[in-house]
Amino acid sequence: MTKTPVAVLGATGAVGQRFVSLLADHPWFEVAALVASDRSVGKPYADAAPWIPDGAIPAACASMKVEGVPSLTSPEKTPIVFSGLPGGAAGPVESDLARRGFKVFTNARDHRMDADVPLLIPEVNADHLDLVKRQQGPGWIVANGNCTAIILTLPLAALHRAIGVEELHVTSMQALSGAGAAAVAALDVTDNILPHIAGEEEKLSTEPTKTLGRLEGDGVVPEPIPIHATCTRVGVREGHFESVHLRLKRPATLDEVRQRVAEFRGPPGVQGLPSAPKMPIHVLDAPDRPQPRRDREAERGMAVSVGRLRLDPDGRGLRFVVLGSNTVRGAAGQSILNAEYARAQGFV
C-alpha cells in the first residue's frame, strides 16, 4: 500500500507540531509539505518551529523547507491537508483549499458548526462523514471538535446510547498545552487557577450535541442534551481533566454503567485503524485515578480514562471524572484518526 502524501497547515504552531510528531512513521500517511506563515517560509522546519513535543523533531521533517499556502496548488500531490491553523485564520484558508480539491481535516473551530461539515469522532458518529458529499467540492472539510468536547463526548456517547442522558454538568481543569505554545504565562498559573477560558464553555455546551446528533435532511439534528459547563485552566502540562455530573434518563446500576462505558467501542470499520485505541475509554477503579500525569498517555494518548464512577441511590444521578490527552485525542490525533477512517472508507 502506498502512503498518501499529506500537507500540514500551521505546521510550526503547537497543534501543527503535534501533527508532525504523530505523523512520523505513520503507516498510511507521509508528510510531503509543511505549510506556515510568511515568517517561516523558506526556512528549514527545524529552525522555524521551536520544538515542543517530547522526543526529537522527526528527522524526515527537520530539514524540509517550510512552504506558504500558495504553494499548495495540486491536490494530486497532497490530497490530504491537516490543518493546525488557529481559529479565525483557518476558516477562509480551509474553504479555499476545499474548493480547490483538497480534503481538509481541521482542528480549528471555524467550520465545526457548519451544516455540511461533520464534527467527527469515528467511534461515535462515523455515519456523519457522508455530510462531506453535500459540500460544494471538489474537496471538502472534516472537523474535529474542541479538545475538551471530544474528551467529554466519548463517555457521554457510551452512556447516552446505552442508557440515555437527560442533563449534564461539567467542570473542566484544562492543561497548559491546550492554550498553544506560549499562551499561558507561568506567572499566571503558578500557585494559581484561572477561572475562565474564552469561548470554551460555549464549545463544550454545543459541540457534543452535534457529534451525538442524527444525520437528517440537510445536516445534523443535534441531540438535545443540556450541557452546563465551567472551564478553568490549571498548571498541568498536558491532559484535560473533567468532572462530570449527569442525570440518566432511566435508573441503572453502577455495574451496568461501568460496563457500558468500559465496553464502548466504535463500529467495525474504526477498530483496527492505525490510530484507533483498542479501548476508547479505560475505566479505572482505583479511587485516585485517573490523574493527568499518569494516565494522559493511555494508548498513545488516543484513549480517555474514566474514574470515580459514583451513582446516587436513585440510580440516575451519576458522577465521574474523565481525562484525556488534549493534544492527541483532543486535537491532532483525532484529525488523523478521522483521515484514516475516511481513507479506509474510500473517501480519499
Tell me the torsion sign for CA atoms 206, 208, 212, 217.
Answer: positive
**Cα gap 138→243, rounded to integer Å:** 42
Least Cβ distance, residue 243 to a copy of itself (angstroms): 4
84 neighbors 104 (Cβ within 8 angstroms): no
Least Cβ distance, residue 189 to a copy of itself (angstroms): 5
240 belongs to the catalytic site: yes
When the beta carbons of 99 and 319 are compared against a copy of itself, the nearer one is 319
Q: Which three cell numbers stand for residue 1?
A: 500500500
When the beta carbons of 93 and 321 are compared against a copy of itself, the nearer one is 321
When the beta carbons of 1 and 187 are compared against a copy of itself, the nearer one is 187
Q: Which of 219, 9, 224 is nearest to 118 (CA)?
A: 219
Least Cβ distance, residue 54 to a copy of itself (angstroms): 7
When the beta carbons of 295 and 340 are compared against a copy of itself, the nearer one is 295
**Cα gap 283→232, rounded to integer Å:** 24
Least Cβ distance, residue 293 to a copy of itself (angstroms): 4
Q: Which of 265, 323, 273 is nearest to 297 (CA)?
A: 323
Strands 219-221 and 281-284: unpaired
Give the DSSP letter of residue 300. Answer: G
123 neighbors 137 (Cβ within 8 angstroms): no
**Cα gap 115→135, rounded to integer Å:** 9
Least Cβ distance, residue 6 to a copy of itself (angstroms): 26
**Cα gap 110→224, rounded to integer Å:** 22
Tell me the torsion sign for CA atoms 339, 342, 347, 348.
Answer: positive
Integer angstrom CA distances of residue 3 from 27, 31, 106, 145: 7, 10, 20, 26
State the DSSP string of 102-138: -EEEE-SSTTTT-TTS-B--HHHHGGGGGGGGGSSSS
When the beta carbons of 73 and 190 are compared against a copy of itself, the nearer one is 190
Least Cβ distance, residue 16 to a copy of itself (angstroms): 15
159 neighbors 165 (Cβ within 8 angstroms): yes
Question: Which residues, listed in sequence order, are joined to residue 240 by a DSSP beta bridge?
Answer: 324
Least Cβ distance, residue 282 to a copy of itself (angstroms): 11
Name the residues that contact a copy of itself, by CB under 8 A: 52, 54, 169, 171, 173, 176-177, 181-196, 198, 228, 230, 232, 234-237, 241, 243, 245, 287-294, 297, 307-308, 312, 317, 319, 321
Question: Which residues, listed in sequence order, are joined to residue 81 by a DSSP beta bridge?
Answer: 7, 104
Query: 128, 147, 160, 231: which is the annotated catalytic residue?
Result: 147
61 belongs to the catalytic site: no
When the beta carbons of 80 and 184 are compared against a copy of itself, the nearer one is 184
When the beta carbons of 1 and 286 are compared against a copy of itself, the nearer one is 286
Q: Write out the catalytic residue numbers.
A: 147, 240
